[in-house]
Copies of this chain bind each other. A is one copy, B any other.
């Protein structure tokens, strides 16, 4: 898109355009490094309208964050609470869904980690959904496997490994690309292949 073409998209209303611009800038630069003027410029909309529609920078951030996280967990919830599927089937579905989401939003993990670790309790929704997660049918299956002796270590290890193997490549992506170890296409191909590999690996880990 050229500089001129990037200008006002009059099809979408102001509020929505601002929100999308904010989502883009926040995820790229993080909360602290984002200037309200960046958001206004990205949307090509007057600065004052950010506060007019969203009251404050922080309120806008919380809105976007809540929406994003909520959307993520809405996708995961039916998977982890499906009482008809096995543990492995659930993990397969999680891996597939999650990697697909990350392929579409590659800088999402860096964003979450940055906000998560910079301390502020801007994200109560994360811990809320975290609790929901650890009360899920998936976790019940895991703890039962553990107490029955089939799983020989703390169940939380399975979640750590699942999420670690899914998310880490995207965190390290800038490193892989900048160092020339992987091209963007190679990265994409490997991550796509991991959709099938990770469940296999997890199965072996569980049965060890």
Which residues does A use to contact B, with CB under 8 Å? 28-33, 107, 109-111, 113-114, 116-119, 121, 126-127, 130-131, 134, 153-154, 156-157, 160-161, 163-169, 171-172, 174-176, 178-182, 190, 193-194, 197, 200-201, 204-205, 208
Q: Is the interface of A mostly helix, strand, loop or mixed?
A: helix
Instruction: Kindly list 15 other residue pairs between chains A and B, CB separation below 8 angstroms, not including A111-B117, A113-B171, A164-B169.
Output: A29-B32, A29-B118, A30-B118, A32-B32, A32-B33, A109-B117, A113-B113, A116-B172, A127-B180, A130-B179, A156-B181, A157-B197, A160-B169, A168-B168, A204-B205
**Chain B residues positioned under 8 Å from A126 (CB to CB):** 175, 178-179
The 7 closest A-B pairs by CB, nearest first: A164-B168, A130-B179, A32-B33, A32-B32, A164-B164, A110-B117, A127-B179
Give Cα A175–Cα B20 distance, bound, in whole angstroms: 27
Contact status of A168 and B167, CB under 8 A, knowing A114-B110, A127-B175, A157-B197? yes
Q: How far is the CB of A95 from chain B (nearest CB, A)?
A: 13
Across the interface, A30 reaches (CB within 8 A) one of B30, B193, B208, namely: B30
**Chain B residues positioned under 8 Å from A178 (CB to CB):** 121, 126-127, 130
Candidate in A33, A161, A164 with the most chain B CB atoms within 10 angstroms: A164
